[in-house]
Amino acid sequence: MHYDIFNGDADGIISLIQLRLATPLDSQLVTGVKRNIQLLKTISPAEEDSFTVLDISMEKNTQPLIDILDKGLTVFYADHHRAGDIPQHDNLTALIDLDANMCTALIIDQHLNGQYHDWAICAAYGDNLIAKADQLCEAAGYTKEQAEQLKELGTLINYNGYGADLSDLHFDPAELFQALLKYPSPFDVFADKSSPYYALQAAYQDDLEKALAIPAMHSSDTLSVFELPDQKWSRRISGVYGNLLANKGPKSAFAVLTKNALGGYLVSLRAPLENKQGAGDICSQFETGGGRAAAAGVNHLPVTTLEKFIGTVESYYG
């Protein structure tokens, strides 16, 4: 059995699209909502199994990774999140790049020598690497209209990954991957009126309009915080809404808080685009928190800890 294990967001899905377009393979897909990153512990590896792991933090999967390697099984691992101590093992191929302007799909793009470069750019847009993706579009000779198409598709695929569980999502990420894999280029997605793009486009606009109607609960030159209700639409829009806010106010940090069933918050934090560092370090100070330099989150932040969270962010970027 070969396992393809990947984050359910745009970066994870599109990283795997590139690899499986280049090397078709019948595999067991293991994924979930964007926040579900401890995916290796869900596997019970058997003799002769092999693994591709994409866009989930190695630091959050270290022990199950070591267990897999100790069984003599091979792992190809590509990611741009916090890695911790990378195991030194002959059976591990690790392509790790923590640069704030890199995403896993761009790592795979380099690995494949640009074979599916348009898909990689689409993922970069989805991961909110807007300036980087714009540069890549210009270098590739794409028109502004084509760049906007790639940006919208990447955003919509990313939007689909946010939720407390799969029931919040419009598409199971494994099914969305399989649906998109039939398109050699993202531009083929737009040409097919039955593609997932059109369903996601309508749903995204509806959710976004609801979010835009809610004022900030905290606002300063350093940080703006928005609180969304405990609703399916809130959980779906939270991360992409954070990206939208960050792009509109590049000098400021933004946090989107979504009320959860435990009485606390699901947190999406975006570092200032003009200072893309620290978000992962900030969120890692809180239980269930983590992420990367430019974008991070906390799966459950108790209400009693909110003031401390806001103070930590204000102190870091102020």
- pLDDT tens for 282-300 read 999 999 998 888 999 999 9
Residue 57 and residue 115: Cα distance in Å, rounded?
25
The mean pLDDT value for 221-227 works out to 98
Tell the CATH topology of 214-317. Diaminopimelate Epimerase; Chain A, domain 1 (3.10.310)
DSSP-derived secondary structure letter, 216: P
pLDDT band at 253 (very low <50, low <70, confident <90, very high): very high
CA 159 vs CA 53, 68, 259: distances in Å = 21, 32, 18
pLDDT band at 193 (very low <50, low <70, confident <90, very high): very high
Domains 2-200 and 214-317 share a fold: no
Stated as kind and residue range, the H or E segment containing 178 is: helix 173-180
* pLDDT score, position 292: 86
pLDDT band at 281 (very low <50, low <70, confident <90, very high): very high
Instruction: Judge contact between 36 and 174, C-beta under 8 A.
Output: no
3-state secondary structure of 291: strand
The hierarchical CATH code for the domain 2-200 is: 3.90.1640
In three state form, how does the secondary structure of 60-88 look? HHHHHHHHHHHCCCEEEEEECCCCCCCCC
Query: Two tokens at 309?
Result: 């969270």
* pLDDT tens per residue, range 67-122: 999 999 999 999 999 899 999 999 999 999 999 899 999 999 999 999 999 999 99
Residue 59 confidence (pLDDT) above 90: yes
Query: Two tokens at 276?
Result: 């893309």
Average pLDDT, the chain: 96
Residue 8 and residue 54: Cα distance in Å, rounded?
10
* pLDDT score, position 69: 97
154 contacts: CB under 8 Å, gap ≥ 6: 10, 14, 122, 123, 124, 125, 126, 127, 133
* pLDDT tens per residue, range 138-172: 999 999 999 999 999 999 999 999 998 999 999 99
CA 84 vs CA 57, 78, 298: distances in Å = 9, 14, 18
**Domain ranges in the chain?**
2-200, 214-317
**Which residue in 259, 283, 263 sits closest to 271, CA to CA?**
283
**Which residue in 212, 176, 231, 225 sits closest to 8, CA to CA?**
176
pLDDT band at 35 (very low <50, low <70, confident <90, very high): confident
Residue 191 confidence (pLDDT) above 90: yes
> End-to-end alpha-carbon separation of the chain, Å?
50
**Which residue in 148, 35, 55, 36 sits closest to 108, CA to CA?**
55
* pLDDT score, position 164: 87
Residue 53 and residue 74: Cα distance in Å, rounded?
11
Residue 237 and residue 249: Cα distance in Å, rounded?
18
Residue 13 and residue 1: Cα distance in Å, rounded?
20
* pTM score of the predicted model: 0.90
Residue 232 and residue 97: Cα distance in Å, rounded?
33
